[in-house]
Amino acid sequence: MIQVSDLWKSYGGQPVLQRLHFEVKKGEFFGIIGPNGSGKSTLLKLLSAIESPDSGNIYLDGKPAVRIKPKELATWLAVLQQETLPPVGFTVREVVEMGRFPYQNWLGTEKDDAGAVIDEILSTLGLNALQDRTLDKLSGGEKQRVALAKVMAQQPRLLLLDEPTTFLDIGYQIQLLDAVHRWQRSENNTVVAVLHDLNLASLYCDRILLLDQGRQMGVGLPRQILQAEMIDKVYGVTPIVLEHPVHHLPQIMLQSRRE
């Protein structure tokens, strides 16, 4: 689904990403982690073809990303950012319907009625009771579910997530990622997620890319990447890494340096 080779990106002569080389398989939940300023969000912009690399190649579904027309790309790639909703005043259903834009003609209509698609998404994400409510009447967690519903309405084969749980409490974090994971598995879609929480990355990602100062420190299974020595090297903290008692995946416990 995604092939990246010898990828470089700089701003103002300052390297932000250097010599990245990895691939993301179809149907995979792929995570990107790293400290602040490591280039995670920049990488997502390049993968979504919002920006172009200085050098190197990105192939999306076998095609050079820079050669895919935006409207064509929007029919099978969607991006869920931290702030993706329009100004207040729109209802939940109206916002979700905006996700159908790539399939509409210049009159704003589609060849086929997408009402059934919208109904199914609202039901899947538990938004039926909220569909006539305006955005200003929603909580932060509800708004993020609406944002997810909007990108799901695009019916993408590839979904990019830019730290989608940053402003959510732990209950909404699990709820959102569970919804993404169910959708990804049922449709055999591909998800690439920039995640701040290492434990969430371990629980949901099939493989993880670790960045530090724009460099690729490793890519592999959660148990290969989330090791105490690697985390200490990149984040500057020495954690205790334990196995989750149910999922049998690595989980991070932090240690205080206080005397």
Q: Which helix (H) or strand (E) holds 19?
A: strand 14-24
Nearest C-alpha neighbor of 76 from the set 97, 53, 48: 48
| pLDDT (tens place) for every residue of the chain, 259 residues total | 899 999 999 998 899 999 999 999 999 999 999 999 999 999 999 999 888 999 999 999 888 888 888 878 888 898 887 665 666 688 999 888 888 877 666 555 666 667 888 898 888 888 888 999 998 888 877 888 888 888 888 888 999 999 888 778 888 888 889 988 988 998 899 999 999 999 999 999 999 999 999 999 999 999 999 999 999 999 999 899 999 999 999 999 988 776 5
The pLDDT, as a whole number, for residue 259 is 58
The pLDDT, as a whole number, for residue 40 is 93
The pLDDT, as a whole number, for residue 111 is 62
Euclidean distance between CA atoms 241 and 243, whole angstroms: 7
**In the chain, where the domains are located:** 2-223
The pLDDT, as a whole number, for residue 258 is 66
Euclidean distance between CA atoms 65 and 237, whole angstroms: 37
The pLDDT, as a whole number, for residue 114 is 72
Treating both helix axes as pointing N-terminal to C-terminal, what angle do 170-187 and 115-124 enclose, rounded to 10 degrees?
130
Give DSSP secondary structure letters for 24-90: E-TT-EEEEE-STTSSHHHHHHHHTTSS--SEEEEEETTEEGGGS-HHHHTTTEEEE-SS-PPPTT-
* Dihedral pair phi/psi, residue 246, rounded to 5°: -105, -50
The CATH classification number of 2-223 equals 3.40.50.300
Q: pTM of the prediction?
A: 0.87
In 10 A of CB 82, how many CB atoms? 15
